[in-house]
């Protein structure tokens, strides 16, 4: 009886171990936030280099896999390796891009707050300042007629055309 119990316990433990090995490992990547935009840019450049290296390694692994008998298994392993590498790269890119966006938003908010403060100060200054009264302009005798009438301008044009025709 004890032998059967020990056998069933060992089978359960073995199956439990198999079940845990079939699950895909979930990796949580923690990325330290940058201290400046330059740090974020440097981390983004490094992430781009890592991404390029991962893609190149995947291409090499893929080429090697096609020479093997178990192509699909090999390709699955290569894809999984690339996916796990890209998880970290994507996490770094997300944190750095978020930091850069936040810095941009903070700068825009500071500029808007400064402009609003300047506008409010100008409004307060204008409200405190008395409005100068305008003196009405003296009316002139009569509006000046145009220098030349349409008929006079047409006559001058006709004279220029005739002079040009006689010279030609």
Annotate 31-98 with DSSP letters as a single string: -PPPSSHHHHHHHHHHHHHHHHHHHHHHHHHHHHHTTSS-HHHHHHHHHHHHHHHHHHHHHHHHHHHH
Residue in 103, 90, 84, 88 with CA at minimum distance from that of residue 34? 103
pLDDT recorded at residue 23: 45
pLDDT recorded at residue 11: 66
Name residues whose C-beta falls within 8 Å of residue 34's C-beta, 6 or more positions apart in sequence. Answer: 40, 43, 95, 96, 99
pLDDT, one tens digit for every residue, the chain (168 residues): 566 655 565 666 565 555 444 445 556 778 888 889 999 999 999 999 999 999 999 999 999 999 988 889 999 999 999 999 999 999 999 999 999 999 999 999 999 999 999 999 999 999 888 877 887 777 766 667 667 888 888 999 999 999 999 887
| Structural domain spans, the chain | 33-128
pLDDT recorded at residue 39: 92
């Amino acid at each position: 009886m004890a032998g059967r119990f020990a056998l069933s316990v060992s089978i359960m433990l073995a199956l439990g171990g198999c079940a845990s090995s079939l699950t895909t490992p979930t990796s949580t990547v923690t990325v330290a936030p940058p201290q400046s935009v330059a740090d974020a840019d440097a981390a983004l450049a490094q992430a781009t280099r890592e991404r390029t290296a991962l893609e190149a390694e995947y291409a090499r692994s893929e080429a090697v896999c096609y020479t093997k008998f178990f192509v699909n298994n090999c390709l699955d392993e290569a894809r999984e390796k690339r996916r796990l590498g890209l998880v970290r790269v994507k996490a770094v890119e997300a944190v750095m891009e978020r930091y850069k966006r936040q810095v941009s938003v903070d700068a825009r908010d500071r500029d808007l707050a400064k402009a609003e403060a300047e506008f409010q100060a100008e409004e307060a200054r204008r409200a405190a300042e008395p409005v100068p009264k305008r003196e009405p302009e003296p009316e002139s005798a009569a509006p000046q007629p145009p220098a030349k009438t349409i008929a006079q301008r047409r006559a001058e044009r006709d004279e220029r055309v005739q002079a040009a025709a006689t010279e030609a």
